[in-house]
Amino acid sequence: MLTTRHGVRPLGAADLAEFLALAREDPVVNVFVDYRATTTNLEPRWLGGEMWGRFEDGELVAACHVGANLVPVQALPDDAAAFAERALTRGRTVSTIVGPQDAVRVFWNGVAATWGRPREARWEQPHLEIATLPVVAPDPYVRRSVRTDMDELYPACVAMYTEEVGISPEWGGGAELYRARVAQLVSRGWSFARYDRGKLIFKAEVACATPYAAQIQGVYVPPNYRGRGIATAGMAAVVDIVRREIAPVVSLYVNDWNESARAVYEKVGFRETARFATVMF
């Protein structure tokens, strides 16, 4: 397939091996796109979008996931600018731009005048990793969620999402789809929670995982249980289980201004390895 201007073209199943080699140059930062590629075989109907690749002298040098989330992959400034130029030919179809800060900034600068004002832009998001045992003792009562937990778990997921993103995942008729997503994570064994006399007091999920890394999302403690060390012990338990049973490295990214969450992750043993940014529409 011929490449388009600036060497950018959509990738397909025939490009999977080359794409994975690119993504695995930094397998922890790129865990999301690695997971998406391996579970969809880069087929657009399963991706719900496209994966763009940029080539130089016939070699894949950068990529960009374009689905609900737009995610640059190993993109230097010239790569991000080329992806932005391609994006301008089709208009905005994504709800979020997220990934390494420098690439997101260059991409956003290229499309901002056309794509309109975002709902929010978060430019400072430390990307954290842990590849060792947690520093603090894990909470022994954190366990994988089961289907019968949904009455407690689902409202907590909605509350966390609303608090973090600023809009309910149920807005605009999205409740059924969001409930299905929560149930899917439960069925995969990727949802973890701690209960006290039947009440959920901590939860977290694995958003995506590969043989190299797992990315955590949705860390939440209800407001009336905060400040008691529940999140610290809970996250230590999640790290312990995930590293033993899912992937050897656990990662996440957090807003720079969220000092309480950052303090929890530091106590557990997470260390910053990159900076992310997120632009939300």
What is the domain-level CATH number for residue 73? 3.40.630
Domain interval for residue 70: 5-116
Q: Convert the pLDDT of each residue in 175-224 to its tens digit.
A: 999 999 999 999 999 999 999 999 999 999 999 999 999 999 999 999 99
Q: Domain of 206: which CATH number?
A: 3.40.630.30
Establish if 97 belongs to a structural domain.
yes
The answer to whether residues 171 and 266 belong to one domain is yes
Establish if 11 belongs to a structural domain.
yes
What share of the chain in percent tops pLDDT 70? 98
Query: Is residue 3 over pLDDT 60?
Result: no
The answer to whether residues 36 and 99 belong to one domain is yes
Token readout for 167 is: 């809009």
Query: Is residue 259 over pLDDT 70?
Result: yes
pLDDT at 2: 46
Query: Could you tell me if 73 and 65 are in contact, meaning their C-beta atoms sit under 8 angstroms apart?
Result: yes
Establish if 14 belongs to a structural domain.
yes
The answer to whether residues 13 and 71 belong to one domain is yes
The answer to whether residues 91 and 192 belong to one domain is no
The answer to whether residues 80 and 171 belong to one domain is no
CA distances, 145 to each of 55, 148, 202 (Å) = 43, 8, 11
The answer to whether residues 156 and 269 belong to one domain is yes
C-alpha span between 210 and 164 (Å, rounded): 25
Establish if 45 belongs to a structural domain.
yes
pLDDT at 174: 86
Establish if 212 belongs to a structural domain.
yes
Give how many domains the chain has, as a whole number: 2
The answer to whether residues 165 and 254 belong to one domain is yes
pLDDT at 1: 45
Query: Could you tell me if 107 and 85 are in contact, meaning their C-beta atoms sit under 8 angstroms apart?
Result: no
The answer to whether residues 147 and 67 belong to one domain is no
Establish if 241 belongs to a structural domain.
yes
Q: Convert the pLDDT of each residue in 157-179 to its tens digit.
A: 999 999 988 899 998 888 999 99
Query: Is residue 244 over pLDDT 80?
Result: yes
Establish if 135 belongs to a structural domain.
no
Establish if 264 belongs to a structural domain.
yes
pLDDT at 4: 59
Task: Identify the band that residue 5 occupies on the pLDDT scale cut at 50, 70 and 90.
Answer: low
E-strand stretches of 156-280: 191-196, 199-209, 214-220, 250-253, 271-280
Q: What mean pLDDT is reported for the chain?
A: 95
- Rounded to 5 degrees, φ, ψ at 142 are -70, 135
The answer to whether residues 238 and 153 belong to one domain is yes
Q: Convert the pLDDT of each residue in 112-156 to its tens digit.
A: 999 999 999 999 999 999 999 999 999 999 999 999 999 999 999
The answer to whether residues 87 and 190 belong to one domain is no
> Could you tell me which of 278, 233, 280, 281 has the C-alpha nearest to residue 104?
278
Task: Identify the band that residue 61 occupies on the pLDDT scale cut at 50, 70 and 90.
Answer: very high
The answer to whether residues 74 and 195 belong to one domain is no
